[in-house]
Amino acid sequence: MTAQAPEVRIPDVHAQQRPAGAEYFTKYPGRFIAIHLQDVDQQAPATTNQHDSPVTLVPVGKGSIDWTKTFTAARIGGVEHIFVDQRMEFMRESVAFLKALKA
């Protein structure tokens, strides 16, 4: 019998996602190798981003996502790699937040 390769999925984690990131990871434990992070401000007026999604993107840690809950669930999901892909002006704040969260 040949072992079946695990399903590889790299979800975007943002507040508009349904189910939300944390619930997704706990619903499908051990099935993820990486996540792609974005943060949004659900209180701000919606604008259309590069994906034609009506949200206001902000630096990671400045928006509406509970990152402690998300990363706790991501461990259950099997996540080993984190990707932050956003506007350059957001990167410095995002990296500082993630480093402080890790500490």
Any idea which of 14-18, 21-25, 66-70, 85-89 has the lowest mean pLDDT?
A: 14-18
Number of domains in the chain: 1
Residue 7 lies in a domain: no
CA 78 – CA 60 distance, rounded (Å)? 21
Report pLDDT for 15: 46
Write out pLDDT tens, residues 39-82: 888 777 666 555 556 678 899 999 888 889 989 999 999 999 98
**Pair 92, 81: CB distance under 8 Å:** no
User: In terms of Cα–Cα distance, which of 43, 37, 8 is closest to 21?
Assistant: 37
Report pLDDT for 60: 93
Percent above pLDDT 70 for the chain? 69
Determine the structural domain holding residue 78 and report its residue range.
13-102
Residue 38 lies in a domain: yes
Residue 40 lies in a domain: yes
